[in-house]
Structure 1
Amino acid sequence: MTADSGPRLLEDSALERTSVVANNAMNRDRLLSGVNSYGRELGFDPYERLADRLRAAPAASVGWIDVCCGAGRALLEAERRFGTEFPDADVTLRGVDLVGHFAAAPATARLRLITATARNYLPDRPAELVTCVHGLHYIGDKLALIAAMLRWTAPEGRFAAHFDPHTVRHRDGSSAARAVVARLRAAGLTYDGRHHRISSPGALALEFPAYLGGDDRAGPGYTGQPAVASYYDW
Protein backbone atom coordinates (compact mmCIF):
# COMPACT_ATOMS: atom_id res chain seq x y z
CA MET A 1 0.00 0.00 0.00
CA THR A 2 1.13 3.56 -0.45
CA ALA A 3 2.59 5.50 2.46
CA ASP A 4 -0.27 8.02 2.61
CA SER A 5 -3.24 5.68 2.27
CA GLY A 6 -4.46 2.28 3.28
CA PRO A 7 -5.38 -0.50 0.88
CA ARG A 8 -8.44 -0.18 -1.29
CA LEU A 9 -9.76 -3.69 -1.64
CA LEU A 10 -11.40 -4.11 -5.03
CA GLU A 11 -13.24 -7.13 -6.34
CA ASP A 12 -11.63 -8.72 -9.36
CA SER A 13 -14.04 -7.26 -11.93
CA ALA A 14 -13.06 -3.77 -10.72
CA LEU A 15 -9.34 -4.61 -10.61
CA GLU A 16 -9.45 -5.71 -14.23
CA ARG A 17 -10.42 -2.17 -15.25
CA THR A 18 -7.40 -0.57 -13.57
CA SER A 19 -4.24 0.44 -15.44
CA VAL A 20 -2.11 -1.89 -13.30
CA VAL A 21 -4.05 -4.99 -14.33
CA ALA A 22 -5.16 -4.07 -17.86
CA ASN A 23 -1.50 -3.75 -18.80
CA ASN A 24 -0.88 -4.11 -22.53
CA ALA A 25 2.91 -3.92 -22.01
CA MET A 26 3.03 -7.14 -19.96
CA ASN A 27 4.65 -10.17 -21.63
CA ARG A 28 4.57 -8.50 -25.04
CA ASP A 29 7.73 -9.73 -26.73
CA ARG A 30 8.79 -12.87 -24.85
CA LEU A 31 9.62 -15.77 -27.17
CA LEU A 32 10.24 -19.47 -26.53
CA SER A 33 14.02 -19.32 -26.30
CA GLY A 34 16.80 -16.77 -26.09
CA VAL A 35 17.54 -13.85 -23.78
CA ASN A 36 13.94 -12.65 -23.34
CA SER A 37 12.15 -15.97 -23.40
CA TYR A 38 9.94 -18.51 -21.69
CA GLY A 39 12.90 -20.87 -21.58
CA ARG A 40 14.91 -18.37 -19.55
CA GLU A 41 12.03 -17.41 -17.26
CA LEU A 42 10.74 -20.94 -16.60
CA GLY A 43 14.03 -22.81 -16.66
CA PHE A 44 12.88 -25.09 -19.49
CA ASP A 45 11.71 -24.74 -23.09
CA PRO A 46 7.95 -25.41 -23.26
CA TYR A 47 8.15 -26.56 -26.86
CA GLU A 48 10.95 -29.04 -26.19
CA ARG A 49 9.12 -30.44 -23.18
CA LEU A 50 6.05 -31.25 -25.29
CA ALA A 51 8.10 -32.27 -28.34
CA ASP A 52 10.02 -34.81 -26.25
CA ARG A 53 6.71 -36.43 -25.35
CA LEU A 54 5.76 -36.68 -29.04
CA ARG A 55 9.17 -38.01 -30.01
CA ALA A 56 8.74 -40.79 -27.44
CA ALA A 57 5.09 -41.47 -28.32
CA PRO A 58 4.11 -40.01 -31.73
CA ALA A 59 0.44 -40.96 -31.23
CA ALA A 60 0.18 -39.03 -27.95
CA SER A 61 -1.88 -35.88 -27.49
CA VAL A 62 -0.15 -32.82 -26.04
CA GLY A 63 -1.55 -29.49 -24.91
CA TRP A 64 -0.23 -26.22 -23.54
CA ILE A 65 -2.33 -23.57 -21.75
CA ASP A 66 -0.51 -20.26 -21.24
CA VAL A 67 -2.33 -17.89 -18.87
CA CYS A 68 -1.64 -14.15 -19.19
CA CYS A 69 0.05 -14.91 -22.51
CA GLY A 70 0.49 -11.27 -23.54
CA ALA A 71 1.08 -10.93 -27.27
CA GLY A 72 1.18 -14.72 -27.58
CA ARG A 73 4.55 -14.73 -29.35
CA ALA A 74 5.77 -17.89 -27.60
CA LEU A 75 2.61 -19.78 -28.58
CA LEU A 76 2.79 -18.52 -32.17
CA GLU A 77 6.40 -19.71 -32.34
CA ALA A 78 5.42 -23.08 -30.87
CA GLU A 79 2.63 -23.39 -33.45
CA ARG A 80 5.15 -22.87 -36.26
CA ARG A 81 7.64 -25.35 -34.82
CA PHE A 82 5.02 -28.05 -34.25
CA GLY A 83 3.83 -27.53 -37.82
CA THR A 84 7.33 -28.19 -39.12
CA GLU A 85 8.36 -31.10 -36.88
CA PHE A 86 5.00 -32.71 -36.07
CA PRO A 87 2.55 -31.75 -38.82
CA ASP A 88 0.17 -34.63 -38.06
CA ALA A 89 0.40 -34.77 -34.26
CA ASP A 90 -2.50 -34.03 -31.92
CA VAL A 91 -1.39 -30.66 -30.50
CA THR A 92 -3.59 -28.14 -28.67
CA LEU A 93 -2.26 -24.67 -27.81
CA ARG A 94 -4.29 -22.13 -25.84
CA GLY A 95 -3.33 -18.61 -24.81
CA VAL A 96 -5.48 -16.51 -22.47
CA ASP A 97 -4.98 -12.78 -21.98
CA LEU A 98 -7.14 -10.02 -20.53
CA VAL A 99 -6.00 -7.34 -23.00
CA GLY A 100 -5.80 -9.45 -26.16
CA HIS A 101 -3.26 -7.41 -28.14
CA PHE A 102 -1.89 -10.46 -29.93
CA ALA A 103 1.12 -10.28 -32.24
CA ALA A 104 -0.61 -12.24 -35.03
CA ALA A 105 -3.57 -14.46 -35.74
CA PRO A 106 -3.13 -18.23 -35.35
CA ALA A 107 -2.23 -20.00 -38.59
CA THR A 108 -3.94 -23.29 -37.71
CA ALA A 109 -6.75 -24.68 -35.58
CA ARG A 110 -4.13 -26.01 -33.17
CA LEU A 111 -3.79 -22.57 -31.58
CA ARG A 112 -6.45 -20.36 -30.04
CA LEU A 113 -5.61 -16.95 -28.57
CA ILE A 114 -8.44 -16.02 -26.24
CA THR A 115 -9.27 -12.57 -24.89
CA ALA A 116 -10.79 -13.32 -21.49
CA THR A 117 -10.27 -12.94 -17.78
CA ALA A 118 -8.25 -15.84 -16.42
CA ARG A 119 -10.77 -16.34 -13.61
CA ASN A 120 -13.54 -17.09 -16.13
CA TYR A 121 -11.58 -19.36 -18.45
CA LEU A 122 -12.46 -23.06 -18.66
CA PRO A 123 -10.26 -25.26 -20.87
CA ASP A 124 -11.58 -27.91 -23.23
CA ARG A 125 -9.48 -30.54 -21.47
CA PRO A 126 -6.52 -30.77 -19.09
CA ALA A 127 -3.17 -29.87 -20.62
CA GLU A 128 0.25 -31.46 -20.36
CA LEU A 129 1.72 -28.03 -19.69
CA VAL A 130 0.11 -25.06 -17.89
CA THR A 131 2.16 -21.88 -17.47
CA CYS A 132 1.76 -18.32 -16.20
CA VAL A 133 4.85 -16.19 -16.82
CA HIS A 134 4.82 -13.10 -14.59
CA GLY A 135 1.03 -12.98 -14.79
CA LEU A 136 0.00 -13.69 -11.21
CA HIS A 137 1.45 -10.31 -10.19
CA TYR A 138 -1.60 -8.67 -11.79
CA ILE A 139 -4.28 -11.07 -10.50
CA GLY A 140 -6.56 -10.27 -7.58
CA ASP A 141 -7.46 -13.71 -6.28
CA LYS A 142 -4.09 -15.26 -7.06
CA LEU A 143 -4.66 -18.35 -4.94
CA ALA A 144 -7.93 -19.23 -6.68
CA LEU A 145 -6.18 -18.97 -10.06
CA ILE A 146 -3.31 -21.17 -8.86
CA ALA A 147 -5.85 -23.77 -7.71
CA ALA A 148 -7.64 -23.54 -11.07
CA MET A 149 -4.45 -23.91 -13.11
CA LEU A 150 -3.55 -27.00 -11.10
CA ARG A 151 -6.95 -28.48 -12.00
CA TRP A 152 -6.26 -27.75 -15.66
CA THR A 153 -2.98 -29.70 -15.51
CA ALA A 154 -3.01 -33.29 -16.74
CA PRO A 155 -2.01 -35.95 -14.17
CA GLU A 156 1.36 -36.50 -15.86
CA GLY A 157 1.77 -32.88 -16.93
CA ARG A 158 3.55 -29.89 -15.43
CA PHE A 159 2.39 -26.59 -13.96
CA ALA A 160 4.81 -23.66 -13.64
CA ALA A 161 4.23 -20.01 -12.76
CA HIS A 162 5.96 -16.99 -11.27
CA PHE A 163 4.67 -16.13 -7.84
CA ASP A 164 5.58 -13.53 -5.22
CA PRO A 165 4.24 -14.82 -1.87
CA HIS A 166 4.76 -11.40 -0.26
CA THR A 167 1.91 -10.01 -2.40
CA VAL A 168 -0.43 -12.29 -0.41
CA ARG A 169 -1.56 -10.46 2.71
CA HIS A 170 -3.44 -11.09 5.92
CA ARG A 171 -6.54 -9.04 6.67
CA ASP A 172 -4.40 -6.56 8.65
CA GLY A 173 -2.05 -6.01 5.71
CA SER A 174 0.89 -8.06 7.00
CA SER A 175 2.60 -10.54 4.71
CA ALA A 176 1.11 -14.03 4.51
CA ALA A 177 4.15 -15.30 2.60
CA ARG A 178 5.20 -17.87 5.20
CA ALA A 179 1.66 -19.25 5.52
CA VAL A 180 1.01 -19.49 1.79
CA VAL A 181 4.37 -21.09 0.96
CA ALA A 182 3.81 -23.65 3.73
CA ARG A 183 0.36 -24.42 2.31
CA LEU A 184 1.72 -24.83 -1.24
CA ARG A 185 4.58 -27.08 -0.16
CA ALA A 186 2.31 -29.21 2.02
CA ALA A 187 0.09 -29.81 -1.01
CA GLY A 188 3.05 -31.02 -3.09
CA LEU A 189 4.16 -27.91 -4.99
CA THR A 190 7.73 -26.71 -5.21
CA TYR A 191 8.53 -23.07 -4.46
CA ASP A 192 11.82 -21.73 -5.83
CA GLY A 193 12.46 -18.53 -3.89
CA ARG A 194 15.48 -17.54 -5.94
CA HIS A 195 13.53 -17.47 -9.19
CA HIS A 196 10.11 -16.75 -7.65
CA ARG A 197 8.56 -19.82 -9.25
CA ILE A 198 6.04 -22.41 -8.15
CA SER A 199 5.66 -25.71 -9.96
CA SER A 200 3.92 -29.04 -9.76
CA PRO A 201 4.41 -32.36 -11.57
CA GLY A 202 0.75 -32.83 -12.43
CA ALA A 203 -2.66 -31.90 -11.10
CA LEU A 204 -3.26 -31.15 -7.43
CA ALA A 205 -6.31 -30.20 -5.37
CA LEU A 206 -5.92 -27.08 -3.22
CA GLU A 207 -8.17 -24.97 -1.03
CA PHE A 208 -7.32 -21.56 0.40
CA PRO A 209 -8.80 -19.07 2.89
CA ALA A 210 -11.54 -16.64 1.88
CA TYR A 211 -10.46 -13.90 -0.53
CA LEU A 212 -11.16 -10.36 0.66
CA GLY A 213 -10.08 -8.29 -2.34
CA GLY A 214 -7.06 -6.89 -4.15
CA ASP A 215 -5.20 -3.58 -3.89
CA ASP A 216 -3.83 -2.19 -7.16
CA ARG A 217 -2.02 0.62 -5.30
CA ALA A 218 0.26 -1.72 -3.34
CA GLY A 219 3.35 -0.58 -5.26
CA PRO A 220 6.01 -2.58 -7.11
CA GLY A 221 6.71 -6.25 -6.58
CA TYR A 222 10.06 -7.98 -6.98
CA THR A 223 10.08 -7.21 -10.74
CA GLY A 224 10.03 -3.48 -10.01
CA GLN A 225 6.68 -3.12 -11.77
CA PRO A 226 3.38 -2.21 -10.06
CA ALA A 227 1.62 -5.29 -8.73
CA VAL A 228 -1.62 -6.23 -7.01
CA ALA A 229 -1.59 -7.22 -3.34
CA SER A 230 -4.16 -9.91 -2.55
CA TYR A 231 -5.85 -10.02 0.86
CA TYR A 232 -7.17 -13.21 2.49
CA ASP A 233 -8.85 -14.12 5.76
CA TRP A 234 -6.25 -16.62 6.96
Structure 2
Amino acid sequence: MARLLDDGTLEASSVVANCAMNRERSLTGSNGYGRELGLDVLAEITDRLGRTGEPVRWLDLCCGSGRALSEAAARLRDRGLADQVEITGVDLVDHFVVPQRPPGLRLVVASVTSWTPSDRFDLITCVHGLHYVGDKLGALARAASRLTAGGLLVANLDLRGIRPAGGAPAGRRLTTALRAQGFGYDPARRRISLRGACTVRLPYRYLGADDRAGPNYTGQPAVESHYEYTGR
Protein backbone atom coordinates (compact mmCIF):
# COMPACT_ATOMS: atom_id res chain seq x y z
CA MET A 1 0.00 0.00 0.00
CA ALA A 2 1.30 3.45 -0.94
CA ARG A 3 2.51 5.73 1.84
CA LEU A 4 1.55 9.24 0.75
CA LEU A 5 3.85 12.03 1.91
CA ASP A 6 3.33 15.77 1.79
CA ASP A 7 5.90 17.93 0.01
CA GLY A 8 7.85 18.84 3.14
CA THR A 9 8.28 15.23 4.23
CA LEU A 10 8.95 14.05 0.70
CA GLU A 11 11.72 16.58 0.12
CA ALA A 12 13.53 15.31 3.22
CA SER A 13 13.60 11.80 1.75
CA SER A 14 16.93 10.33 0.67
CA VAL A 15 15.29 9.27 -2.60
CA VAL A 16 14.47 12.87 -3.50
CA ALA A 17 17.84 14.27 -2.41
CA ASN A 18 19.42 11.92 -4.93
CA CYS A 19 23.15 12.55 -5.24
CA ALA A 20 23.47 10.40 -8.39
CA MET A 21 20.97 11.89 -10.83
CA ASN A 22 22.29 14.85 -12.85
CA ARG A 23 25.39 15.31 -10.70
CA GLU A 24 27.84 14.49 -13.49
CA ARG A 25 25.60 15.19 -16.48
CA SER A 26 27.11 17.34 -19.21
CA LEU A 27 25.52 19.41 -21.94
CA THR A 28 26.37 17.01 -24.76
CA GLY A 29 27.58 13.44 -25.21
CA SER A 30 26.18 10.05 -24.23
CA ASN A 31 25.06 11.32 -20.81
CA GLY A 32 24.20 14.82 -21.94
CA TYR A 33 21.16 17.05 -22.08
CA GLY A 34 20.97 16.69 -25.85
CA ARG A 35 20.57 12.92 -25.67
CA GLU A 36 18.12 12.93 -22.77
CA LEU A 37 15.92 15.74 -24.07
CA GLY A 38 16.31 15.21 -27.81
CA LEU A 39 17.23 18.88 -27.98
CA ASP A 40 20.34 20.85 -28.88
CA VAL A 41 20.08 23.48 -26.16
CA LEU A 42 22.62 25.88 -27.65
CA ALA A 43 21.01 25.62 -31.09
CA GLU A 44 17.61 26.43 -29.57
CA ILE A 45 19.07 29.44 -27.77
CA THR A 46 21.02 30.81 -30.74
CA ASP A 47 18.10 30.24 -33.10
CA ARG A 48 15.85 32.31 -30.86
CA LEU A 49 18.50 35.02 -30.59
CA GLY A 50 18.66 35.14 -34.36
CA ARG A 51 14.89 35.32 -34.78
CA THR A 52 14.06 37.87 -32.11
CA GLY A 53 17.25 39.82 -31.47
CA GLU A 54 16.20 39.87 -27.81
CA PRO A 55 18.03 38.41 -24.79
CA VAL A 56 17.19 34.76 -24.12
CA ARG A 57 16.44 33.23 -20.72
CA TRP A 58 16.93 29.51 -20.05
CA LEU A 59 15.61 27.87 -16.87
CA ASP A 60 16.79 24.37 -15.93
CA LEU A 61 14.75 22.71 -13.18
CA CYS A 62 16.40 20.03 -11.01
CA CYS A 63 19.77 21.04 -12.45
CA GLY A 64 21.89 18.84 -10.19
CA SER A 65 25.47 20.06 -9.96
CA GLY A 66 24.95 22.76 -12.58
CA ARG A 67 27.81 21.31 -14.63
CA ALA A 68 25.87 21.38 -17.91
CA LEU A 69 24.78 24.96 -17.33
CA SER A 70 28.34 26.08 -16.65
CA GLU A 71 29.43 24.34 -19.84
CA ALA A 72 26.71 26.12 -21.81
CA ALA A 73 27.66 29.49 -20.32
CA ALA A 74 31.31 28.93 -21.31
CA ARG A 75 30.37 28.02 -24.89
CA LEU A 76 28.13 31.05 -25.20
CA ARG A 77 30.96 33.25 -23.89
CA ASP A 78 33.30 31.80 -26.50
CA ARG A 79 30.75 32.73 -29.18
CA GLY A 80 30.48 36.27 -27.87
CA LEU A 81 26.89 35.73 -26.70
CA ALA A 82 27.32 35.70 -22.92
CA ASP A 83 25.69 39.10 -22.43
CA GLN A 84 22.63 38.02 -24.44
CA VAL A 85 21.71 34.88 -22.50
CA GLU A 86 20.62 34.42 -18.87
CA ILE A 87 20.79 30.89 -17.45
CA THR A 88 19.07 29.89 -14.20
CA GLY A 89 19.40 26.49 -12.57
CA VAL A 90 17.22 25.34 -9.67
CA ASP A 91 17.84 22.32 -7.45
CA LEU A 92 16.53 21.17 -4.09
CA VAL A 93 20.01 20.65 -2.62
CA ASP A 94 23.25 22.58 -3.00
CA HIS A 95 25.55 20.16 -4.79
CA PHE A 96 26.66 22.79 -7.29
CA VAL A 97 30.18 22.35 -8.64
CA VAL A 98 30.60 25.76 -10.24
CA PRO A 99 32.92 27.62 -7.84
CA GLN A 100 33.46 30.58 -10.20
CA ARG A 101 30.10 31.24 -11.77
CA PRO A 102 30.32 32.99 -15.11
CA PRO A 103 28.25 36.12 -15.75
CA GLY A 104 24.71 35.25 -16.73
CA LEU A 105 24.56 32.02 -14.70
CA ARG A 106 22.45 31.88 -11.54
CA LEU A 107 22.06 28.77 -9.37
CA VAL A 108 19.18 28.64 -6.89
CA VAL A 109 18.55 26.21 -4.02
CA ALA A 110 14.78 25.75 -3.91
CA SER A 111 11.93 23.32 -4.44
CA VAL A 112 10.57 23.39 -7.97
CA THR A 113 7.05 22.98 -6.54
CA SER A 114 7.21 26.22 -4.56
CA TRP A 115 9.87 28.44 -6.17
CA THR A 116 8.25 31.36 -7.97
CA PRO A 117 10.43 33.20 -10.49
CA SER A 118 9.66 36.77 -11.48
CA ASP A 119 10.86 36.25 -15.05
CA ARG A 120 9.47 34.39 -18.02
CA PHE A 121 11.73 32.01 -19.92
CA ASP A 122 12.34 31.21 -23.56
CA LEU A 123 13.51 27.70 -22.72
CA ILE A 124 12.64 25.54 -19.70
CA THR A 125 14.19 22.10 -19.29
CA CYS A 126 14.05 19.35 -16.69
CA VAL A 127 16.31 16.34 -17.21
CA HIS A 128 14.91 13.39 -15.21
CA GLY A 129 14.02 15.71 -12.34
CA LEU A 130 10.27 15.10 -12.38
CA HIS A 131 10.92 11.51 -11.25
CA TYR A 132 11.62 12.96 -7.79
CA VAL A 133 8.90 15.61 -7.64
CA GLY A 134 5.68 14.95 -5.74
CA ASP A 135 3.19 17.02 -7.69
CA LYS A 136 4.57 16.38 -11.18
CA LEU A 137 1.48 17.75 -12.93
CA GLY A 138 1.57 20.87 -10.80
CA ALA A 139 5.25 21.39 -11.64
CA LEU A 140 4.45 21.12 -15.36
CA ALA A 141 1.60 23.61 -15.03
CA ARG A 142 3.84 26.08 -13.18
CA ALA A 143 6.55 25.75 -15.82
CA ALA A 144 4.05 26.24 -18.65
CA SER A 145 2.86 29.48 -17.07
CA ARG A 146 6.43 30.87 -17.02
CA LEU A 147 7.15 30.40 -20.73
CA THR A 148 7.36 33.33 -23.10
CA ALA A 149 5.29 33.41 -26.26
CA GLY A 150 6.98 30.81 -28.46
CA GLY A 151 9.08 29.56 -25.54
CA LEU A 152 9.82 25.84 -25.28
CA LEU A 153 9.41 23.44 -22.36
CA VAL A 154 11.03 19.98 -22.58
CA ALA A 155 11.24 17.44 -19.75
CA ASN A 156 11.52 13.73 -19.04
CA LEU A 157 8.24 12.35 -17.70
CA ASP A 158 7.38 8.74 -16.88
CA LEU A 159 3.59 8.44 -16.83
CA ARG A 160 3.90 5.18 -14.91
CA GLY A 161 4.95 7.30 -11.96
CA ILE A 162 1.57 9.05 -11.93
CA ARG A 163 -1.28 7.09 -10.38
CA PRO A 164 -4.96 7.81 -9.75
CA ALA A 165 -6.04 7.08 -6.17
CA GLY A 166 -5.88 3.33 -5.58
CA GLY A 167 -5.40 2.54 -9.24
CA ALA A 168 -2.98 1.59 -11.97
CA PRO A 169 -0.81 4.21 -13.74
CA ALA A 170 -2.86 7.00 -15.32
CA GLY A 171 -1.92 6.01 -18.86
CA ARG A 172 -4.04 6.97 -21.88
CA ARG A 173 -6.51 9.15 -20.00
CA LEU A 174 -3.72 11.38 -18.71
CA THR A 175 -1.97 11.47 -22.10
CA THR A 176 -5.22 12.64 -23.68
CA ALA A 177 -5.67 15.32 -21.00
CA LEU A 178 -2.10 16.57 -21.46
CA ARG A 179 -2.44 16.76 -25.24
CA ALA A 180 -5.73 18.64 -24.86
CA GLN A 181 -3.76 21.30 -22.95
CA GLY A 182 -1.21 21.64 -25.75
CA PHE A 183 1.51 19.26 -24.53
CA GLY A 184 3.22 16.79 -26.79
CA TYR A 185 4.14 13.44 -25.25
CA ASP A 186 6.50 10.81 -26.63
CA PRO A 187 5.73 7.56 -24.76
CA ALA A 188 8.68 5.68 -26.24
CA ARG A 189 11.19 8.23 -24.98
CA ARG A 190 9.11 9.33 -21.98
CA ARG A 191 9.49 12.95 -22.96
CA ILE A 192 7.00 15.82 -22.69
CA SER A 193 7.11 19.18 -24.45
CA LEU A 194 5.13 22.38 -24.87
CA ARG A 195 5.61 25.38 -27.11
CA GLY A 196 4.32 28.74 -25.84
CA ALA A 197 2.99 29.93 -22.49
CA CYS A 198 -0.41 28.67 -21.42
CA THR A 199 -2.59 28.17 -18.37
CA VAL A 200 -2.80 24.43 -17.74
CA ARG A 201 -5.90 22.95 -16.15
CA LEU A 202 -5.84 19.19 -15.72
CA PRO A 203 -8.65 17.08 -14.19
CA TYR A 204 -6.47 15.76 -11.38
CA ARG A 205 -6.12 16.73 -7.72
CA TYR A 206 -2.80 15.95 -6.09
CA LEU A 207 -3.00 13.69 -3.01
CA GLY A 208 0.62 13.04 -2.09
CA ALA A 209 3.63 10.98 -3.13
CA ASP A 210 5.25 7.65 -2.29
CA ASP A 211 9.05 7.51 -2.04
CA ARG A 212 9.07 3.71 -1.72
CA ALA A 213 7.99 2.96 -5.29
CA GLY A 214 11.43 1.59 -6.22
CA PRO A 215 13.43 2.10 -9.43
CA ASN A 216 11.80 3.40 -12.59
CA TYR A 217 13.09 2.99 -16.15
CA THR A 218 16.29 4.90 -15.33
CA GLY A 219 17.28 2.29 -12.77
CA GLN A 220 17.19 4.89 -9.99
CA PRO A 221 14.62 4.84 -7.16
CA ALA A 222 11.84 7.28 -8.03
CA VAL A 223 8.71 8.84 -6.54
CA GLU A 224 5.15 7.83 -7.42
CA SER A 225 2.68 10.70 -7.48
CA HIS A 226 -0.95 10.00 -6.55
CA TYR A 227 -3.93 11.99 -7.80
CA GLU A 228 -7.68 11.97 -7.64
CA TYR A 229 -9.29 12.14 -11.07
CA THR A 230 -11.87 14.93 -10.87
CA GLY A 231 -13.32 14.48 -14.34
CA ARG A 232 -13.49 18.21 -14.88
Is 1:194 the equivalent of 2:188? yes
1:135 to 116, 129, 145: 129
Change (3 A) 1:193 1:88: closer
Provide the TM-score with structure 1 as the length reference: 0.93
Change (3 A) 1:146 1:106: farther
Q: How does 1:121-132 map to 2 (within 5 A)?
A: 121-132=115-126
Question: Does 1:177 find its partner at 2:175?
Answer: no
Correspondent of 2:220 among 206, 215, 225: 225
Partner of 1:45: 40
Deviation at 1:88, TM superposition (A): 5.9
1:188-233, CA deviations, whole angstroms, 9 ceiling, x for partnerless residues? 1110011100001111221232111000011221212111111111
The residue matched to 2:206 in structure 1 has which SS? strand
Amino acid at match of 1:126: R
Residues in 1 aligned to 2:73 and 2:221: alpha-carbon distance in whole angstroms: 32
What's the C-alpha RMSD, in Å, of the aligned pairs?
Answer: 1.4
SS at match of 2:113: helix
- How far did 1:60 drift? 1.2
Contact 1:24 1:99 in 2 (8 A): no
Q: Report Cα offsets for 1:111-161 as digits up to 9, x if no partner.
A: 111111111212231111000000000000100001011111111110000
1:92 to 61, 86, 91: 86
**Residues 33 and 40 in structure 1, CA contact (< 8 A), matched pair in contact too:** yes
Name stretches of at least 5 consecutive residues in structure 2 with no aligned partner. none
Where structure 1 has 5 or more consecutive residues not aligned to the other structure, the ranges are 1-5
SS in 2 for 1:118: coil
- From 35, 39, 61, the counterpart of 2:30: 35
